[in-house]
Amino acid sequence: MNNFQFYNPVRIVFGAGELKQIGSEAAAVGKKALLVSYADYGFMKETLDKVVALCKEKGVEVIPFYAAVANPLMSDIEAGVKVARAKKADMVIGCGGGSVMDTAKLIAAGTLYKGDLWKMMYSRHDSNATLPPDKALPILLINTLPATSSEMNCGAVATNTETMEKTYLFHPCIYPKVSILDPELTTSLPAYQTACGVVDSLSHVIEIYFTCQNEVPVQDRLMEGIMSSQMEHVVKILKDPKNVALRGDLMWEVALSWNGWILPGTGGFTPMHMIAHAMSARWGVTHGASLGIVMPAFMKKTWQLNPQRYVQFGQRVFGKKMTPLQVIAKFEKFISGLGVQTRLTQCKDIPANHKKVVKTLLDDCVRVYFGANGKLASLKPLSKKEVKEIIELSL
Ligand SMILES: [Fe+2]
């Protein structure tokens, strides 16, 4: 096991009907909240109106900022920062899925940040230019789409459309103070969004499971438990979407995927997210779908580094003795069975010239995510040629 430090201060308020707590939670933090949600917020207007009313009841003024989009844009974060500063907000509430929560976190940090906000974001090709924030306004989150675990971690992702970079910030100052996980808010989620959320969440565990330098026995069991529970529950939810108990199980399982508990001591990497981010930055591929596409391709290219790991996955997650290639085929079939894309060419707006698609993605990966060693960090660092082969396998 690697040496590590562990810290996660997020307080979780979990349960059906717990949205009602948002007013008193906000009042404990301040007087004026910037409420961040989607630009197309119509489908959750009732929830947002409830949040505003609950806050008002407890003496907290709410400034609505409904501008977040899937794959959050730095331009929207800059706009939110302007509003938060002008209105002197003393907290940020994010009500939505991963993109809303990430937008809320970055606005909270950006409001207190001096200088170009893009410099807050991690940039491997130009790390000297990165200056992470060291403080943020208090962040309160209401998760309405289980997927990213943003509700329980200190990460946020954003895209800069000028430089075509989708990259991230991980810093303790953007841990939420509190996150409300109310499964009642997720019962009307469409099947595709529910499934994409689970594929994203599975990918967070899969990344570490198949790239870890050290197998930590308890982390193995935790990861296998999270994966098999999510896989079982998403299938049941797609048949019974209004089942609050199942939605609650899934909501908590998703929070555990990337809240930090699976990582300590493993020394795992996230190469699949890097390749997937390049797809989203270029063609707006839904985050979960981009991972549904990259995971099988990555596995096909790299399983020989660690075949026993795949056999273990087969035995403990699928409950069967299988070869690595059988495990990969079954996993890919599971993703497509949920209705999520497993090939880039199944997505809209992908150019017909596939050679050009491969070149564009490869150039973006090298430019944004490759390290100073000219490779993409993974269990065995991946060369440009290897990443090219993974992209080709994902078409
Ligand atoms: Fe993700």
DSSP code, position 73 = B
**Helices 287-302 & 384-393, crossing angle to 10 degrees?**
120
The C-alpha atoms of residue 68 and residue 237 are separated, in whole angstroms, by 27
Distance 257 CA to ligand 1 centre (A): 10
Distance 192 CA to ligand 1 centre (A): 16
Distance 55 CA to ligand 1 centre (A): 31
| CA-closest candidate to residue 27, choices 65, 64, 54 | 54
Which domains are seen in the chain, by residue range? 11-185 (3.40.50.1970), 191-393 (1.20.1090.10)
Q: How many CA atoms lie within 13 A of 121 on its CB side?
A: 26
Distance 47 CA to ligand 1 centre (A): 25
The C-alpha atoms of residue 146 and residue 229 are separated, in whole angstroms, by 14
Structure tokens at 296: 């099988």
| CA-closest candidate to residue 6, choices 267, 260, 266 | 260
Distance 200 CA to ligand 1 centre (A): 5
Distance 258 CA to ligand 1 centre (A): 9
pLDDT in tens, the chain (395 residues): 899 999 999 999 999 999 999 999 999 999 999 999 999 999 999 999 999 999 999 999 999 999 999 889 999 999 999 999 999 999 999 999 999 999 999 999 999 999 999 999 986 555 557 889 999 999 999 999 999 999 999 999 998 888 888 889 999 999 999 999 999 999 999 999 999 999 999 999 999 999 999 889 999 999 999 999 999 999 999 999 999 999 999 999 999 999 999 999 999 999 999 999 999 989 999 999 999 999 999 999 999 999 999 999 999 999 999 999 999 999 999 999 999 999 999 999 899 999 999 999 999 999 888 988 999 999 999 999 999 999 999 99
Distance 277 CA to ligand 1 centre (A): 9
Distance 201 CA to ligand 1 centre (A): 6
Distance 114 CA to ligand 1 centre (A): 28
Structure tokens at 395: 């078409």
Q: What pLDDT score does 164 carry? A: 80
Q: What pLDDT score does 224 carry? A: 98
Q: What pLDDT score does 167 carry? A: 85
In sequence order, the 6+-apart residues with CB closer than 8 A to the CB of 128 are: none
Distance 199 CA to ligand 1 centre (A): 9
Distance 275 CA to ligand 1 centre (A): 11
Q: What pLDDT score does 371 carry? A: 87
Question: Containing H/E element for 37?
Answer: strand 32-38
Q: What pLDDT score does 122 carry? A: 82
Distance 339 CA to ligand 1 centre (A): 18
| CA-closest candidate to residue 9, choices 207, 154, 221, 222 | 154
For 14-34, b/e burial (b = at least 16 CB within 10 A) is ebeebbebbbebbbebeebbb
